[in-house]
Each structure stands twice: as C-alpha cells, then as structure tokens.
Amino acid sequence: MFLKLSSPPPITLLLMIVNGLIFAYGILSNSQDQIISHYGFVPDNLFRYNHPLSDNIIRLFSSMFIHANIAHIAFNLLALAYLGGFAERSIGKPRYLLIYLSAGVAGALLHGIIASFILGNGSSVLIGASGAISGIMGITAALGDIRGYYWLAIQILFAFVGSFASISIAFMAHVGGFIAGLLLTKLLIEIERKKRKGYWSYSQ
C-alpha cells in the first residue's frame, strides 16, 4: 500500500519560483543593483515628488518580487513555504493570490507613509516579499492561529525600536501586510457566511 502525497500548493509554488528566478537573474547577469533601482518602491516618489503614478503602481507590485541578497530571499521563501500551503488550501487559490498581492501593496504603502512623513527616510528603496508574506500570516490569524497576533506585537515593537536604531528592515511593511491579510480574510469569511445564510434561508 502506498501513501498518497498531497500535491504542492500551486500558487505558493509559483510565487516561490518567480521570486527565485528574478533573484537568480539579477545575480547571474550582474544586474541586481539596476533591478533594485528600476523596480524597487521609493516612497518619496509617490508621496513627495511628481513621479508618474503608473511608475509608482508598477513599483508597488514589482518591489515585492525583488530581494537584496541570499539571506533576504532565503528567509522569505522559507516563510512562504511554511505558511503558504495552509493559507492557500484554506481560502482557495484566487483569494490567496489576491490577498498576497494586496498585502504586499498595503505593507509598502504603510511603510512609505511613515518613512516619508514621519521618519524622513522615504528616499530609501523598499524591496522584498515580507509585506506580502506577512499578509499570509494575517490569513492564518484570521483562521484562528493566535500566534499571529503575538508576532504582530513583536513587529510593532521592532518598528518602534528600529526607528531610533536605524535598522534597515521595514518592520511597518510587515505590520501593514499582516493587517491587510487579516482584515481581507475576515471580510471574505463574512461574505461567505452571509452567502451560505442566504442560501439556507432561500432553500427553506
């Protein structure tokens, strides 16, 4: 008798491959710095300077697929592999991808607002999938894993400390991504609950 292995979650696997290929291309072609410069998100370009809106929108999405070094991408891909499968199977592929991308954008925007208007370092480039992956953690929290809230509290603490210690990690992007993932998942759960309630009311 053979054990039946579950198939890998396709969206999570695709996201890991895309992130890995972009990083590998940048390293092998020696164009990593150019990729970061051309496709990373610069908050001041959106909030302070008159850069084209289309360019800022592209960078909001493209920045979440760019990583600075091996440690950066390895940590994010491990987190994605660990969290993604459960979240994807729990809410479905389209919703999972929607929340992943939305959380990445929300995290970048929250980081950008604070960087540009409070900390005054909005000229620094933001890259990485951490905000989007934090959104996945928000999904798991919305589904009942209370450890996600402890993680959120730690990120807020780190963000506060980091604002004084000049730590280069964008902790507020983590916070924004988590909150977006949490709220969007709760919204989807509520919509699904009302649909089912309406169905049963109609059936009866």
Residues tagged active-site: 130, 174
Burial class (CB in 10 A: 0-12, 13-18, 19+), 101: middle
| Contact status, residue 68 vs residue 3, Cβ threshold 8 Å | no
15-22 CB contacts, 8 Å cutoff, 24+ apart = 15/80, 15/84, 15/100, 15/129, 16/77, 16/80, 16/81, 16/84, 18/65, 19/65, 19/67, 19/73, 19/76, 19/77, 19/80, 19/129, 20/73, 20/77, 22/65, 22/66
Residue 160: Cβ within 10 Å count: 12
Q: One-letter amino acid identity for 48?
A: R
The tokens describing 91, both together, are 């809410």
Sign for the CA dihedral angle at 112, 131, 144, 199 comes to positive
